[in-house]
Amino acid sequence: MEKLVIFLGMALATYFTRYTMIAALGREMSPLLRRWLRYVPPAVLAALVAPAALAPQGRLEIDTHAWAVLAGAVVAWRTRSVLWTIVGGLAAFWLLRLLRI
Amino acid sequence: MKGFWRGLLATLPLAPGVVAFGLLYGVMARQVGFSPWEAWAMSLIVHAGSAQFTALGMWQASSAIPIILATLVINLRHMLLGASVAPYLRGLSPPWKALLALWMSDESYALAIAEYERGVGSHYYFLGANVGVYLAWPTSGLLGALLGAAIPDPGRYGLDLVFPLGFLGLLTAFLKDRTGVAVAILAGGLALLGTFLLPGKWAIVVAGLVGSGLGLLLDEVQKAWKNS
């Protein structure tokens, strides 16, 4: 029962972060704000990729992860496809593992 | 409605990543004393991966309030995600907005915003992507909790790379001009620096805010340059 209360509290906290801005930024939005918001996706996506590639354990290391993401970046650039980027990056990872690089 | 199925299918390439971390979550939940059904319930009710892993880590030494506060802080990045998708949702009714916010994950947000950027996005696509991730996360968590310790570490098979690789594929939609490229490079560098200096998910919040702010600044400078 106590667990359920904590789950519900966590769900509420999560929902608060997901809903407030969607609800708050209503019909009237200044052009400056809109132009700023357009740069949020590339910033956030890059921020999700870079640490996972270069510091998977929280410290800088150029290893299999980094090379696999680099290979994925080339595939992404050529194909712009999520599926092929994942396939290409993972193939590079497994190949490098196999060759023990 | 066709958009819904497209959104749902678009989550399939990311599924190995969701399942790998879902299984791991289930195993960890058992280790801190959850029953498989409790592990399942948490994923169904909360549906926020990083926050759930953090909660498990705090479970034995902490009480309700610190766990809920940690959840709030870890998910602050969703305010940034919500703000950036808000311009596309302006025409929707309040129930639609409330529904889309409910299961918005990093992954489904990224799929939806890239689709909007390409000019083919819709709230049905967004909902489909949300539902796709929502179907996979609690199910794999339950499976992990039932199977127990037989689950290997996702990092061994590179499955921890599925999300970053997917995000990389979606990032290409935003690299149409030099400012977009500059923002991505700056934010990536900032996030890397941030992971060494800041706890939890703060690096993403800071890099997202500062990176996009710099994008706007570069825009303004370019404009002033042209007009002079």
pLDDT at A101: 61
Say yes or no to pLDDT of B228 above 90.
no
CB contact under 8 A, A46 and B111: no
Mutate to test the interface with A, among B168, B195, B223 (most CBs of A within 10 A): B168
> Measured between alpha carbons, how far is B3 from B144 in angstroms, rounded to an integer?
31
pLDDT at A28: 77
- C-beta separation of A69 from B165 below 8 A: yes
Each residue's pLDDT tens digit, B141-195: 999 999 987 777 777 888 999 999 999 999 999 999 999 999 999 999 999 999 9
Q: Which pTM does this prediction carry?
A: 0.93
What interface predicted TM-score (ipTM) does this complex get?
A: 0.94
Q: Which of B9, B5, B3, B26 is nearest to B137 (CA)?
A: B26
Q: What's chain B's average pLDDT? A: 94
Q: What percent of chain A has pLDDT over 70?
A: 99
Say yes or no to pLDDT of A26 above 80.
no
CB contact under 8 A, B45 and A7: yes
- C-beta separation of B55 from A7 below 8 A: no
Q: What percent of chain B has pLDDT over 70?
A: 100
pLDDT at A57: 84
Which residue from A27, A39, A83 is facing B183, i.e. has the nearest CB? A39
A-to-B residue pairs, Cβ atoms closer than 8 angstroms: 295
Tell me the average pLDDT across B119-124: 96
pLDDT at B10: 97
Q: Is B69 helix (H, G, I), strand (E, B) or coil?
A: helix
* Residue with tokens 């990872």, as numbered in its chain: A93
All structural domains of chain B with their residue ranges: 2-162, 175-228
- C-beta separation of B140 from B153 below 8 A: no
Tell me the average pLDDT across B95-102: 97
Mutate to test the interface with B, among A5, A12, A14, A16 (most CBs of B within 10 A): A14
All structural domains of chain A with their residue ranges: 1-37, 39-101
Q: In this structure, which long-range contacts are made by residues B50-58, counting pairs with CB atoms below 8 Å and at least 24 apart in sequence?
A: B50/B74, B50/B75, B50/B201, B51/A10, B51/A13, B51/A14, B51/B75, B52/A10, B52/B25, B53/B25, B53/B28, B54/B200, B55/A6, B55/A10, B56/B25, B56/B28, B56/B29, B56/B32
Tell me the average pLDDT across B118-145: 97
Å between B124 CA and nearest CA of chain A? 16
Which residue from A9, A32, A55 is facing B192, i.e. has the nearest CB? A55
In chain B, residues 74-133 whose CB comes closer than 8 Å to chain A: 75-87, 89-90, 94, 97-98, 100-102, 104, 106, 110-111, 113-114, 117
Q: Which of B74, B112, B88 is nearest to A82 (CA)?
A: B112
In chain B, residues 36-75 whose CB comes closer than 8 Å to chain A: 38, 41-42, 45-48, 51-52, 55, 64, 67-69, 71-72, 75
Each residue's pLDDT tens digit, A74-93: 999 999 999 999 999 999 99
Å between A57 CA and nearest CA of chain B? 10
Mutate to test the interface with A, among B65, B165, B220 (most CBs of A within 10 A): B165
* Residue with tokens 């599924």, as numbered in its chain: B15
| Residue B25 token pair | 């979550």
pLDDT at A35: 92
Lowest mean pLDDT among A12-21, B95-104, B122-131, B142-151: B142-151
Each residue's pLDDT tens digit, B204-216: 999 999 999 999 9
Residue B53: band (very low, low, confident or very high) from pLDDT cuts 50, 70, 90? very high
Taking every pair of Cα atoms in chain A, the longest distance, rounded to a whole number of angstroms, is 57
Q: Which carries the bigger pLDDT value, residue B64 or residue B149? A: B64
In chain A, residues 13-72 whose CB comes closer than 8 Å to chain B: 13-27, 29, 32, 34-56, 58-60, 64-65, 68-69, 72
